[in-house]
Structure 1
Amino acid sequence: MSPQDFQRLIAGVTAQLDGHPLDGSLGAWLNATWPAGSAMYDALADACRTGVAEGWLCNREHGGLRFGRIIKPSPDTHGFSVDVVDMQDMAGPYHLHPHGEIDLIMPLSDGATFDGHPAGWCVYGPGSAHRPTVAQGRALVLYLLPQGAIEFTRDATTV
């Protein structure tokens, strides 16, 4: 697996997402189409684990959070950027999703969750915000962001 192979794999996913609204029905569709344990889920999870091990994914670190944007939005990925984070029992920085966010949750520890979700997909709609949290162990999370849009800001409860 190389970064170019990874981009081709992602493009196969984003081609299916192109034009779909980012909402709960998309999350349900993703979990029905490519559930944890499916060939596509396993291919993406294997690619992410390989990328982390080889150092081309999650190649930045801050406060125990490993992260990195591997793909900028482009026509090849149907306007989606791709970020991958490696987190263990922690909350990341609060941020807004101007156009929404699609997450692929890949636990590395049995029972690890992302924002309370187990292995699989989670979709946040346009205008949503959260402090991404991995609990009960370690997980990789792949983020697909339409147009690469994300806004880091203070959590309204900490102002």
Structure 2
Amino acid sequence: MSKQAFHQRLADLTAQIAGRPLDEALDRWLNSTHGAGSATFDSLKQACIEGVAEGWLCDREGGGIRYGRVFKAEDALHRFSVDVVDMQDIAGPHHTHPNGEIDLIMPLEGDATFDGRPAGWCVYAAGTSHRPTVAQGRALVLYLLPEGQIQFTKTP
């Protein structure tokens, strides 16, 4: 899949979630409508695998994590930015989600989980924070951030 086709697929998805509260109801809806085993999940996972292989996804590396912001927040994506990370049995840097965060968890090896969650979607409400952790294998995680907002915690 081309980067442009990936953008269009994400624009179609973000159109369905734009304006909805980032809460448990959205988490349930995403998992029941676009969760693991659905056509949306399978096509996004395949696109991410191809994008990594082609070098336009996860084009940076730091601290044992491959990552990259593929699209900045823009109107076509309903003001969500798009990042993808490639993590294996590692915890990433602690951060806060000023406007919330929507994650698509795509295990690649083992029974990989993200923050204890299996394949599918995970929604964090505005103001939440965490140290993103992939355990029991390797996973790609796609992040949708409203207005591209993320605040990394400063360490002393």
Q: TM-score surpassing 0.5?
A: yes
Deviations 1:22-81 (A, max 9, x none): 001100000000110110100000000000010000000002100000000001000000
**Residue 76 of structure 1 corresponds to which residue in structure 2?**
76
Deviating above 4 A after TM superposition, structure 1's stretches of 4 or more consecutive aligned residues are none
- The answer to whether 1:107 aligns with 2:107 is yes
Deviation at 1:154, TM superposition (A): 3.6
* 3-state secondary structure, aligned to 2:118: coil
* 3-state secondary structure, aligned to 1:112: strand
Structure 1, unpaired ranges of 5+: none
Structure 1 Cα separation of the partners of residues 102 and 66 of structure 2: 19
Structure 2 Cα separation of the partners of residues 147 and 14 of structure 1: 12
Counterparts of 1:81-92 in structure 2, within 5 Å, are 81-92=81-92
- The answer to whether 1:22 aligns with 2:22 is yes
Deviations 1:102-126 (A, max 9, x none): 0000000131000000000000000
Structure 1 Cα separation of the partners of residues 37 and 49 of structure 2: 15
Structure 2, unpaired ranges of 5+: none
**Residue 130 of structure 1 corresponds to which residue in structure 2?**
130
Structure 2 Cα separation of the partners of residues 34 and 10 of structure 1: 12
Q: How many percent identity over aligned positions?
A: 65
RMSD, aligned α-carbons: 0.9
**Residue 51 of structure 2 corresponds to which residue in structure 1?**
51
Structure 2 Cα separation of the partners of residues 70 and 34 of structure 1: 21
Which residue type is aligned with residue 105 of structure 2? I
- TM norm structure 1: 0.96
Give the paired residue count.
Answer: 156
Structure 2 Cα separation of the partners of residues 86 and 110 of structure 1: 14
Structure 1 Cα separation of the partners of residues 128 and 63 of structure 2: 24
Structure 2 Cα separation of the partners of residues 9 and 48 of structure 1: 12
* 3-state secondary structure, aligned to 2:85: strand
Structure 2 Cα separation of the partners of residues 87 and 50 of structure 1: 16
